[in-house]
Amino acid sequence: MRKKGVAYLLLSLIFVTLLGTVYLTQEGYDHEDRHQTAATRVETMNSFIEDLHHDLDRAAYISGYRALLGMEEHLSQKGAFFHNRSVMEEAFRQAFLTGGYNGTTFTVLDDASFNDYLQRVDQQASQVGIDVDANVTRVQLEQATPWVVQVGFQGNFTITDERGSAWWEYTKNFTTDVPINGLKDPLYTVNTNGRVPNTITNHTLPPTGYVNDTNNDTAVLREFAEGSYYRTTDEAPSFLQRFTGDLTADEKGIESITYLPALSDQGIVVHTDRSVIDHIYFSSNPDNTTDRCDIQGMSYTPDWFRLDQAHMDDYELDTLSSNPCG
């Protein structure tokens, strides 16, 4: 009996040891699996955030460009400039985030505002078990170059795994560049009551310049004038200044030649007593004492091309014959 008891005890110990070994081994595997699952989840969310940051730039570009279109639409409907820079920036902020301004929704921003984008991000993320809470706290608008407006914004983000395995909470600043080519010039929109909108197009000047010195051919300048194209100059207002009717010179300024026949064709009374440089032509009381008329190679019927003395050199006309305007 004693021998049988010892044998039974040994068998029991062996059995318990085997069970313990199996249990501990399984626990090790389970712990390793949970660790690997958590690591994979963190890596997935980190990739999601990197993709989100990259996509934010594209979304800000779309919303920013359309917000500028919406602001031009607002000026066209109201027939007046924004009162000052602060009002203009607030209009952009509202249009950018919500798709409208002062209770008016811009058609061009239907389902294209930045808040619309953030809502779609949250909806898509929830399908893979990620919750995105994003809040834009600041929106800025700056003239980065004569041809580019920079949109900046600050976002507060809380991104959480719905399983509770990981979360990110942070604040980050973003900027994106919005080219102004293809946008409408607010100066023309307001001053022509929206009847002669002028699309901003950067004119590419050929090596011969505006005037060919070999034969005094002004064909390039005539094309520039008749197309109301734009050039850079620090003697003109920037694109953003034009939203407020501010015509002071800026180092990031642009200017065009106002093609008066386009205005008269729309029944707009033209001013034949002032220079056709846009920020001079649309000013309230331009100085016309040194204007030049009857410029060689720039005669039109009816005669409308008139240029102030300061711009004769800019457009390479200073060596051509002309007369003081009467």
Q: At 195, is the secondary structure helix, strand, or coil?
A: coil
pLDDT tens digits, residue range 169-199? 999 999 999 999 999 999 999 999 999 999 9
Number of domains in the chain: 2
Residue 317 lies in a domain: yes
Same domain, 174 and 184: no
Residue that wins the pLDDT comparison between 180 and 34: 180
What average pLDDT does range 104-119 have in this prediction?
94
Domain boundary residue, one of 178, 209, 225: 178
The whole domain housing 112 covers 45-178
Per-residue pLDDT at 128: 81
Same domain, 128 and 230: no
Residue 30 lies in a domain: no
Same domain, 174 and 286: no
pLDDT at 130 > cutoff 60:
yes
Output the average pLDDT for the chain.
Answer: 87
What average pLDDT does range 268-274 have in this prediction?
95
Per-residue pLDDT at 41: 59
Lowest pLDDT segment from 24-28, 77-81, 235-239: 24-28
Residue 5 lies in a domain: no
Q: At 162, is the secondary structure helix, strand, or coil?
A: coil
Q: How confident is the model at residue 34 (pLDDT cuts 50, 70, 90)?
A: very low
Residue 36 lies in a domain: no
d(CA 10, CA 13): 5
Domain boundary residue, one of 160, 178, 196: 178
d(CA 90, CA 139): 9
DSSP H/E element including 101: strand 100-101
Residue 302 lies in a domain: yes
Per-residue pLDDT at 49: 82
